[in-house]
Amino acid sequence: MKTRSETYQLESELQWETPGPGIQRQIMGYDGQLMIVKVKFEKGAVGTMHAHYHSQATYVASGKFELTIGDEKKVLGAGDGYYVAPDEIHGCVCLEPGILIDTFSPHREDFLKK
């Protein structure tokens, strides 16, 4: 497994993965301490509730999402963002098609295994 990405990531050259129905993702830049991932959602797609040991900060690039982090629900749109502490349960429902830009620290090794 590679421990770092190429220096440049060109969208047209990156593979889209399908982690779930109506969801696609592109792995962008990463090393052992940091990772950025672009995630595209169709309306109604569900990012199932889950937790991981990574810190996560996410930027809503487009669309509208109902986020659940812990026991709190909030609707976020383009320009908004959120933070998820390590081991905190979270998930989302896509209300309008959109893209989330996820960052993780450390990187998501499970995303790189193929």
Indicate whether 77 belongs to any domain: yes
In tens, the pLDDT along 23-43 reads: 999 999 999 999 999 999 999
Range of the domain at 80: 16-98
Confidence at residue 114, expressed as pLDDT on a 0 to 100 scale:
60
Indicate whether 112 belongs to any domain: no
What CATH number should be reported for the domain holding residue 70? 2.60.120.10
Indicate whether 32 belongs to any domain: yes
Q: What is the rounded distance in angstroms from the CA atom of residue 59 to the CA atom of residue 98?
A: 11
Torsion of CA 77, 94, 101, 47, to 10 degrees: 140
DSSP states of 11-31: GGGSPPEEEETTEEEEEEEE-
Confidence at residue 3, expressed as pLDDT on a 0 to 100 scale:
83
Indicate whether 60 belongs to any domain: yes
Element (H, E) at 110: helix 109-112
In tens, the pLDDT along 42-87 reads: 999 999 999 999 999 999 999 999 999 999 999 999 999 999 999 9
Indicate whether 57 belongs to any domain: yes
Domains identified in the chain, total number: 1
Indicate whether 94 belongs to any domain: yes
Residue 98 pLDDT > 90: yes
- Percent of the chain exceeding pLDDT 90 equals 95
Confidence at residue 1, expressed as pLDDT on a 0 to 100 scale:
57
